[in-house]
A and B are shown apart, each in its own frame.
Chain A
Amino acid sequence: MISIREYELAESLEQAHEMLLKNRFNTIIGGGAFLRLGSKRINKAIDLSKLGLDYIEEDEHEIRIGAMATLRQLEMSSALLENFSGTVAESVKHIVGVQLRNIVTVGGTVYSRYGFSDPITALLALETYVDLYKGGRMSLDEFLEKGSPRDILTQVVIKKSMEKASFKMLRNSSGDYAIINACVAVKNGSIRIAAGARPARAKLAAAASEFISGRELSEENIEKAAQMAAEELDFGSNMRASADYRRQMCRVLVKRALMEV
């Protein structure tokens, strides 16, 4: 059971950050949906609801997503439907139901670096940055590796550098957590391959990406790149699937995604 002793609606990011640093059991809350399934003990829950962070903005270079935007907003955003082959919107479509996606926030999902996250995998294949209140801008890649403890994620920024993308996932049943997911993005032959729910957090398959970039997307090259991605990433076992099954399926998903771009 989750327990929260106090609750405070932050009036500014500065104030929220001060509160966060005051006690190590103080926590920023996003939608609060996943928290409920755990047993976290929170001293003070800091709510960013009133800071206007629920936007999705677009200009010619990038799309900026405020931390409090919900997954449902991602799914319905015309900016995200019209760019990157609609991949970001596609990646959240299978997460439980509309009712949960109306609660869960982008900030809560990305900052927590959940391994099971589908949108993180899609964002990672694109050129994505996170803006942190103290830590400034960091590539999502770097953030996933290092994290940024005791900070506040204010927005996620996707550069419009990738032209096409494809997101694939495998679930036992629709609405369940993904067993494995993968996303491939491409621009001018330059390709990024990411896979997540391994079940560890999403990661780029660097060697496979480098191999396939600039090469013709022939059946043979695609097969080889998918094989490389499955070999270079590490996979784990849990109640949903074994490491070995995930490796096999990762190869299949990467191959299918590559065939689509």
Chain B
Amino acid sequence: MDINVKINGKNVAFQIDPDDYLSETLRKYGYMSIRKGCDTSSCGLCTVWLDGKPVLSCSTLSVRANGAEVTTIEGLQKEAEDFASFLVSEGAEQCGFCSPGFIMTVLAMKKELKNPSEEEIKNYLNGNLCRCTGYVGQLRALKKYMGVE
């Protein structure tokens, strides 16, 4: 079946099967920032925005993107770079495999939360796993990026 999606501001048509999940469809059409890390809906690496809300693309049926707006990190280069510089300056960037999904969640959080506490930041980012490092450096970078103590 065919679906029409506005992806990163551009209208495109995807050909999908009813049981395709969005992560597969997006990778098939060349959006290679979509990573698949866990296969159990728990790592957050495949995060994209569906109508502005962060979702796990591995757990969203592709058909649900029909007529909707999808944003991947390919469409947010500037914002992503901006946050990445905070990560780098805290030494919190390692292999980078989890970065696209993690950054998509961070950018969504920036839109949604005003002046969050550390607790709120942690709660929002629960379900985004990084297997190289701990999360202390990331949290430092995040607090600076969010402009909170």
Q: Residue A93 contacts which of B40, B47, B63, B123 (CB distance < 8 angstroms)?
A: B123
Contact mask B37-73 → A, CB, 8 Å, 1/0?
A: 0001110100100100111101111011000000000
Bound form: Cα–Cα A2–B127 in Å: 23
Residue A32, interface by CB 8 Å: yes
Q: Is A96 an interface residue (CB 8 A)?
A: yes
The reply to whether A32 and B61 contact each other, CB–CB distance below 8 Å, is: yes
Return the contact of A99 from the options B17, B64, B123, B127 (Cβ within 8 A). Answer: B127
Is A236 on the interface with B (CB-CB < 8 A)? no
- Is A78 in contact with chain B by the CB < 8 A criterion? no
Partner of A97, one of B1, B21, B125: B125
Contact of B18 with A100 in the complex, beta carbons under 8 Å: no
* Residue B105 is within 8 A (CB to CB) of chain A in the complex: yes
Interface pair A175/B42, CB less than 8 Å apart: yes
**A22 contacts B by Cβ under 8 Å:** no
Question: Which stretch, A4-12, A113-121, A183-191, A253-261, touches the partner chain B?
Answer: A4-12
**B139 contacts chain A at the CB level, 8 A cutoff:** no
How many residues on the B side are at the interface (Cβ–Cβ under 8 A)? 30
CB nearest neighbor in A for B112: A98
Complex Cα distance A97/B1, Å? 30
* B14 is an interface residue with CB less than 8 A from chain A: no
Residue interface mask A158-192, B partner, CB < 8 A = 1: 00000000000000001110000000000000000
A100 contacts across to B, CB distance below 8 A: 41-42, 55-56, 59, 127
Task: Summarize B's interface: helix, strand, loop or mixed.
Answer: mixed
Proximity string of chain B (88-126) to chain A, C-beta cutoff 8 Å, 1 when within and 0 when not: 000000000000000001001100000000000001111
Contact in complex: B18, A4 (CB < 8 Å):
yes
Q: Is the CB of B126 within 8 A of A96?
A: yes
A37 CB within 8 Å of chain B: yes
Residues of A within 8 A of B64 (CB): 32, 47, 49
- Which residue of chain B is the closest to A36 with respect to CB atoms? B59
CB-based contact B18/A5 at 8 Å: yes
Q: Among A33, A49, A94, point to the contact of B126 (Cβ < 8 A).
A: A94
Q: Is the CB of B61 within 8 A of A98?
A: no
- Known contacts being A2-B19, A32-B64, is A97 close to B127, with CB within 8 Å? yes
Residues of chain B lying within 8 A (CB to CB) of residue A153: none
Q: Are A98 and B127 in contact (CB under 8 A)?
A: yes
Nearest chain B CB to A189's CB is how many angstroms away? 33
Contact B61 A99 (CB under 8 A): no
Nearest residue (CB) in B for A101 is B127
Give the contacts of A42-73 with B (CB-CB under 8 A): 42, 45, 47, 49, 72
Flag if A103 contacts B55 (CB, 8 Å): yes
Q: Is B128's CB within 8 Å of the partner chain A?
A: yes
Whether B18 lies near A99 (C-beta < 8 A) is no
| CB contact under 8 A between A174 and B40, given known A31-B59, A36-B21, A36-B59 | no
Cα separation A175 to B43 with both chains bound (whole Å): 10
- A242 interfacial contact with B, CB 8 Å: no
Q: A3 interface residue, CB < 8 Å from B? A: yes
User: CA–CA, A49 to B105, complex, Å?
Assistant: 24
Query: 8 closest A-B pairs (Cβ-Cβ)?
Result: A97-B127, A7-B18, A4-B19, A33-B59, A4-B18, A96-B127, A99-B56, A32-B61
- Interfacial residues, chain A to chain B (CB-CB below 8 A): 2-7, 29, 31-33, 36-37, 42, 45, 47, 49, 72, 93-94, 96-100, 102-103, 174-176
Q: List 6 A-B contacts (CB under 8 A).
A: A32-B60, A33-B56, A33-B60, A102-B50, A102-B55, A103-B56
